[in-house]
Amino acid sequence: MDASSCVLMKHHATIIFLFCIIIIISPVNGCFTTIFSFGDSLTDTGNLIQLSLSESTKLARFDFPPYGRTFFDFPTGRCSDGRLVIDFIAEGFGLPFLPPYFGDENGKPRNIQQGVNFAVAGATAIDDAFFKQRGIQNPSTNVSLGVELRFFKDVLPFLCSSSSDCKELLRSSLIIMGEIGGNDYNHAFLQGKSTEEIREFVPLVANTIASSIKELIGLGAVTFLVPGNLPIGCSSAYLTYFQGSDASDYDPLTGCITWLNQFSEYHNELLQKELDKIRRLHPHVHIIYADYYNIAMRFFHSPKQFGFTETLKACCGGGGPYNYSSLMACGNPPIRTSCNDPSSYVSWDGVHYTEAAYRWISRAVFEELYNIPFINNLCLPLTVNKQIYL
């Protein structure tokens, strides 16, 4: 991130954030030269909107205002009011925002020398056929992680001319694998499937992510950032869908639904076990797990420390206790306006977070990255200024 993006807003100046290390760096040789990103709507920087345009299908609601209002001033295909974690990570390593794979009017990526984003909003880890066989429909796309990997392989010849060249490129690249897997559960939960059935998906989701990582290792990649799932029990959408649950289902300290958060923790536990297996098989490979769940839970336990006044209610939505309605979602007419100050909200549209929340998550991710000797040594030539804000 550049120096200006590292200056805390005035109303955050007194925030005590002991785990936050803010990194100011300038791009030089020695650190990552390229970022490749895979995932879903938490990471998509414009692929679904371009797919919709190329296929002449109806544009998604997040392709309309007020999406993008905080940073870009217009919708970019990002499912937020501004930047995502992937944007802050790119800035943090002195790289430009990652262009979407479907990046222009011809449906081909452009300006890809420093990275490409293959994430598609609505994408699942498991192939779409798996869900169709079980009567689960994906309302957004049929893209899965396997399809995104095919996109990646299609773009490699534009970046390197031989197997050895590609291995050299990937050795100096950061691969961001996710977040992915959330939609494997979201579509099923919100279409009425039982928790018992959905829980059976989790090992397959974790294994699919691990298999994709191993495939990329085979091509030469050595550094991966793998985020876990966010606490879905704190999501405005889930809180609305399961509204009226027994009082005992809710965490009295946060208002989140406990059993849904436990489901997220189960996914993260299995994912980390798969990552540990890869580390043992490939000791030369660096796999960094980004603990999105516990980072985000800090917002719900101590919102004022992060400048949040609303944790469970969406900034942009169709009303109700959590300001969320699937029938009148943000971006759909007439919901083309949002709260006055998105930075005081954790949730942007009931499903996705605000730029402010993503900024805090990215800062915690950088702390995790720079606590790893390999990353510190790799990026040692950078001008690094680490400050603890008290």
Does residue 179 have a cis bond before it (omega within 30 degrees)? yes
Residue 2 is among the residues annotated as catalytic for this protein: no
Residue 251 is among the residues annotated as catalytic for this protein: no
Q: Please tell me which residue in 80, 343, 349, 362 is annotated as part of the active site.
A: 349
Residue 267 is among the residues annotated as catalytic for this protein: no
Is the distance from CB of 86 to CB of 43 less than 8 angstroms?
yes
CA atoms within 13 A on the CB side of 238: 28
Look up tokens 């392709």; give the residue: 63
The H or E element spanning position 287 is strand 286-290
Closest CA to 209 of 289, 140, 141, 101: 289
Q: Please tell me which residue in 37, 41, 347, 362 is annotated as part of the active site.
A: 41
For residue 31, the SS3 value is: strand
Q: Please tell me which residue in 140, 325, 352, 362 is annotated as part of the active site.
A: 352
Lookup: tokens for 374: 């390999």
Helix 201-219 / helix 145-155 crossing angle, nearest 10 deg: 10
For residue 363, the SS3 value is: helix
Determine the Cα–Cα distance for residues 304 and 165; give it in Å rounded to an integer: 49
Active site residues: 41, 349, 352
